[in-house]
Chain A
Amino acid sequence: MFAGAFMMGAKDRLLPPVIPFRFFASAVLFHVAGWAVLAWGAQDVPGFQGGGGAVVAALHLVTLGVLAMTAMGAAYQMLPVATRRQLGPAWACSLSWWLFNPGIVALGLGLGTGWSLVLEVGAGLCVAALALFGLLVARNLARVDDLPAVTWPAWVAMASLAAVLVLAVVLVVDMDVGLLTDRPALAATHALLAGYGFMGMLVVGFSAVLVPMFVLSKPVDDAQGKKVAAVAALALLVAVSGTLGRVFWLQALGCVLGLGAVGLYVVMQRRVLASRMRKKLEPFFRLLKAGWALQVLSLAAALALALGAPADRLAPLWGWLLVFGWLLSFATGILQRIMPFLASMHSGAKGGKPVLLSHLTHQRLLDLHAAAHGAALALMMAAIVLDQPLLARLAAVSGLAGALAFGGFAAVLMTRYRAHERSS
């Protein structure tokens, strides 16, 4: 009975469970919505070069609705415990959720239909939510001086987020006003900063906290963590300069530096895994490993693009590998581990026995998700390379099936968690 009782008196108290679980529930729903919209517009994925429509709407439902939503829920919950500093008032965390959800829906609708007013309202709400998130995280990080393996990549992520938000506003305003002379260069900069800068560096920071905890290993080495963040920051600066100025050798140099940062990151993670106490890696790790491999492929595709390879095939392949291959695989892998973990931790808050992680996890649904997600990734890569719209639709339908299985896993988890809460 004491597990919950002592948690209620904790000085470094966790947020109420409803806050992170709201974010995770939204991520699960936007995961389904993103794949469904992509299935609708899948024929446009091969040869996709930007612009509006269902593909861009689906892309933002996934990047904002799943990736950023998961990152926000996880950061609000884990960062104050990892850094041992308060993150911010619970109402501010809740407010960011209330702003973000309607913002994503409106933005997706605006991008899909071209309704500029809806798009502007959606963009405004999303920018407000993410700016609030950035302020809360930066406030927390500013008080920390002893966790460089976490704080350095997190600072790079927050700086990237600030730039991403400014670029997003400029891009949305440009749709009405037409002020940009080179809109594709700005859109590409927005994409690379959002993917590699904001989300990518959060992945590095979260990995430093979560991977050692889940595999029960020694912590990430601080010096290595700093190196990864420094090389990645340099790679981002060089790649952004090259993209904005259309200097292709700078873009290529940015990709090479990015590959160097990934190499350092992989070495760091391998050292963590080599020292682990939990010898058998849990199933969620297959998604993390797949994500890491596809991250390397995404940078290789970007390098080929910078070196002049044809953009009609490689540009959509690069975007696919970056967002759906690396980041979505990583996010769903972390979500399927962190959701039952936090539910177990919060269970028994009224004094009961914590519910077992193994009881909360419906592994078959997760296996189904992993298989369907993997099939979707492979099919879409083939569809892009072979320019096959039908294959692209099949890929998106497979992804949708995986997202529904993931939704089933989340529903079972919450049902079992609530049943446990009622009985305790």
Chain B
Amino acid sequence: MVGVVDLSSRPVQDSPPAWLASALEVPSLDVRAALAQGEDPLGLLMEAADRVDFGGFFVVDAPFNPSPLRRILAARGFSSYGRCLGAGHWRVYFHLNGAADWEHDSEVELLEEGAMVWREEDGLHVDVRKLRPPYPMVAILRLIDSSPEMARLVVHHERMPQYLLPELAERGWGVVRVTEEFQDVRLWLERGA
């Protein structure tokens, strides 16, 4: 719930890599249960990595930041981007691209709609990609409504959220800037715009 999260205390993060948009569609391999039972999932993970073609992805859910695995896979050409989704839950996205940008981490807050929130230099960011309508709109409006002091929000969306505009206007918010990449439409929302 946004209402009980102090978003202002979030550390400033780097922007996620551009390839993350495509990786969001990939189902994750969850090794938390295996680790809890004392099993070592490394073999399973390496087999999964072996099946990835150049330019492809795979995603791992782990109970901690699996830094050793990330370094092993970096040596095989994988870049990785990790997100801390909560206590005991990391999701790491791997992309076989020659390890061009091999490791990024991000502390994110997971909203109840499934949206991910983090802070960058230009303000609070929310990623609502791959959420089922109307969750993207609900997550964005919940953030805006629950933080009266917030003046700017950067939204990562997979398409133009046309139906959001009347609701934003009614709240005195508007869109001041938009960039469009494949599966990453980024909107800068501002109060009073």
Chain A contact residues, CB within 8 Å of chain B: 2-3, 5-7, 9-12, 14, 81-82, 84, 209, 212-213, 216-219, 277, 341, 344-345, 348, 353-358
Contact = CB atoms under 8 A, between A and B. Distances in A.
A10 B159 contact: yes
Contacts of A358: 170
Given A6-B175, A277-B138, A358-B170, A344 B159 contact: no
Contacts of A7: 160, 162, 165
Nearest to A5: B178
Contact of A219 (B133, B141, B176, B178): B133
Contact of B175 (A3, A81, A219, A357): A3
A344 B166 CA distance: 6
B159 A213 contact: no
A354 B133 contact: no
Given A2-B174, A213-B134, A219-B132, A10 B163 contact: no
Interface in B89-143: 113, 132-135, 137-138, 141-142
A378 B126 CA distance: 49
Give the top 6 A-B pairs by smallest Cβ distance, nearest first. A344-B166, A10-B160, A354-B169, A6-B178, A2-B175, A213-B134
A144 B29 CA distance: 27
A12 B166 contact: no
B177 interface: yes
A7 B142 CA distance: 23
A354 B163 CA distance: 12
A220 to B, nearest CB: 10
A6 B160 contact: yes
B180 interface: yes
Contact of B174 (A82, A217, A353): A353
Most buried by B among A216, A348, A356, A357: A216
Interface string B149-178: 000000000011011011011100011111
Contact of B134 (A12, A84, A216): A216
A81 B141 contact: no
Given A2-B175, A2-B177, A6-B175, A277 B162 contact: no
A209 B133 CA distance: 8
A348 to B, nearest CB: 8
Contacts of B134: 212-213, 216-217, 219
Nearest to B171: A356
Nearest to B158: A84
A341 B162 CA distance: 11
B159 A277 contact: no
Contacts of B168: 3, 354
A341 B133 contact: no
A7 B174 CA distance: 13
Contacts of A341: 163, 166
B165 A344 contact: yes
A135 B137 CA distance: 31
B29 to A, nearest CB: 22
Contacts of B169: 3, 344, 353-357
A213 B165 contact: no
12 contacts: A3-B175, A6-B175, A7-B160, A10-B159, A11-B159, A14-B162, A81-B163, A209-B133, A212-B134, A218-B138, A277-B145, A354-B169
Nearest to A10: B160
B160 A2 contact: no
A129 B170 CA distance: 37
A216 B159 contact: no
A355 B187 CA distance: 20
